[in-house]
A and B are shown apart, each in its own frame.
Chain A
Amino acid sequence: MSLLFEPTPDGAGRYLDWIVSGLGWTLGLALGAWTIALVVGTLVGVARTLPKGILPRLGRVYVETFRNIPLLVQMFFWYFVLPELLPVRIGMAIKQMDPPWGSFIPALICLGLFTAARIAEQVRAGLQALPQGQIQAASALGFARGRMYRLILLPQAFRIILPTLTNEFMTIFKNTSVALTIGLVELTATAREINENTFRTFEAFGVVTIVYLVIALLAWQIMSRIERAVQLPALAGGSARP
């Protein structure tokens, strides 16, 4: 692993700096997309549980669209296709964005909306797992729909789906690697670049693999802490810890 401390060809530092930079992009993309995904996913998931109107149907269209097309194809859509479909001036403005932002922004939107579709389904499942009586009791107390979801239903639903959300959180870090195809120099792209520069394949990819393992471990730890912190006594459900 001495590779990390050797100077890079452009003389601007060591390979370790490249790894740190790649890691930074990976983390930034993952956490930014996760935020978008939580907000949009919750809204869409709630929409799908509404009794009538156009919102449930729109929610369904959203989920089916984003779940049945591969992430990479979606990435290409946001990066290559969208600028061409928009009015010429907006399209040009997008295409002239400086790298790396020209790659980061589309990747952020893409990964965020993609993950949102998956979170939406989990939120929907969590809400549908709640006993009917909860909605009835809340209505009887005079709660309007918005407050009812925010204060009564969603807090319970989220506790139910924490295990699957944990899985999704760990997946989003892995999915950031897809952004290398549109030019974002995240962690996996960094490994490839180091390999191309030094031909020390094993070390280059080995270091990056270890970094991903550490990320996975940390992500899992964070979610486990959250699970334990919000756990209701006697209602531990599927994630019971002795």
Chain B
Amino acid sequence: MMVDLSAIAAAMPYLLNGLWFTVQITVVGVTGGIVFGSLLAVARLSRNRIVSSLATAYVNLMRSIPLILVIFWVFFLVPWAIGWMTHSGRPVAVGASLTIFVTFVLFEAAYYAEIVRAGFRSISPGQYAACEALGLSKFHAYIYILFPQAIRNVLPILLTQTIVLFQDTSLVYVISATDLLGAATKVAQRDGRLVEMYLTVGVIYFVICYAASQFVKQLQGRLAYGVR
């Protein structure tokens, strides 16, 4: 069966639109995920038993269930939750985008939390003592001394998880969202061009992810603290 390149060219604008949505989900997911994940990581280190247990339970729960399931949970439950909160008694329609952004932040945060936690574990224990001895408040110590070191130590892993996130966005297909794969599917079904569309999408994903992973490899080489 021959591959029709002109069909691909014709569909490009639509596909790029989908890619743009994919990128948006990724950016929101990364930023929200790292922020929320860092809070979770710090919460797990807390001396307050309730706080650390809740954070641990959340992380373990999110990491044990499939992303598709979480997408369905948020997709079906958020309208009900908002309806309940606004006392309207019925589910309130919410835009698919918002649902998707919330899902990815909540889900990926659990994975980023583990990575940030590993980052904190990689800091020499004496650093905490040095901060204390200098009288730095816990807040200042975390923001200026501990956090920067933790992130720097696990930056390659954080970036790799981001590439995984980028690939995970394709799963919004299950709620018919128009990300890159969703766009390709819609064109494929409309024009009957399954082979061309899916092959194209495969190539696009491959090029982006391969380039990104090569970049991370280069970064890993440069991240040592500098040798004497």
Contact = CB atoms under 8 A, between A and B. Distances in A.
B194 A73 contact: no
Interface residues of B, number: 31
A177 B67 CA distance: 8
A69 B68 contact: no
Interface of B: 1, 61, 64-69, 72-73, 76-77, 80, 167-168, 170-171, 173-174, 181, 194-195, 198-199, 201-202, 205-206, 209-210, 213
Q: 6 closest Cβ contacts across the A-B interface?
A: A216-B64, A68-B209, A177-B66, A70-B167, A174-B66, A70-B170
A113 B66 CA distance: 19
Given A188-B66, A195-B76, 7 more contacts: A68-B210, A74-B202, A81-B194, A84-B195, A201-B80, A209-B69, A213-B64
Contacts of A209: 65, 69, 73
Contacts of B65: 174, 209, 212-213, 216
Q: Report, as a range, how many residues of chain A touch the other chain.
A: 35 or more
A79 to B, nearest CB: 10
Interface in A207-222: 208-209, 212-213, 216-217
Given A73-B170, A73-B205, A188-B66, A80 B194 contact: yes
Interface string A171-183: 0001111101100
Interface string A38-75: 00000000000000000000000000110111111110
A191 interface: yes
B181 A69 contact: no
Contacts of B213: 67-68
A178 B69 contact: no
Contacts of B209: 67-69
Interface in A76-98: 76-77, 80-81, 84-85
A170 interface: yes
A73 B201 contact: yes
The residue among B65, B181, B195, B201 with the most chain A CB atoms within 10 A of its own CB is B65
Given A205-B69, A213-B65, A72 B170 contact: yes
A70 B168 contact: yes
A207 B137 CA distance: 45
The main secondary structure of chain B at its interface with chain A is helix
24 contacts: A64-B210, A68-B205, A69-B202, A70-B181, A71-B167, A72-B170, A72-B171, A73-B170, A80-B194, A81-B198, A81-B199, A85-B1, A170-B64, A174-B66, A177-B67, A178-B68, A188-B66, A191-B72, A192-B72, A201-B77, A205-B76, A208-B69, A212-B66, A212-B69
Contacts of A213: 61, 64-65
A69 B206 contact: yes
Contacts of A216: 64-65
Contacts of A180: 68, 174
Contact of A77 (B69, B73, B77, B202): B202
Nearest to B174: A181
A76 B198 contact: yes
Nearest to B205: A69
B173 A201 contact: no
Contacts of B72: 188, 191-192, 205
B96 to A, nearest CB: 16
A69 B80 CA distance: 35
The residue among A67, A76, A170, A201 with the most chain B CB atoms within 10 A of its own CB is A76
A191 B69 contact: yes
B67 A72 contact: no
A85 B195 contact: yes
Contacts of B199: 77, 81
A67 B205 CA distance: 10
A228 B77 CA distance: 41
The residue among A67, A69, A77, A209 with the most chain B CB atoms within 10 A of its own CB is A69
B193 to A, nearest CB: 11
A177 to B, nearest CB: 4
A212 B64 contact: yes
Contacts of B167: 69-71
A220 to B, nearest CB: 9
A73 B202 contact: yes
Contacts of A178: 66, 68, 171
B64 to A, nearest CB: 4
A188 to B, nearest CB: 5
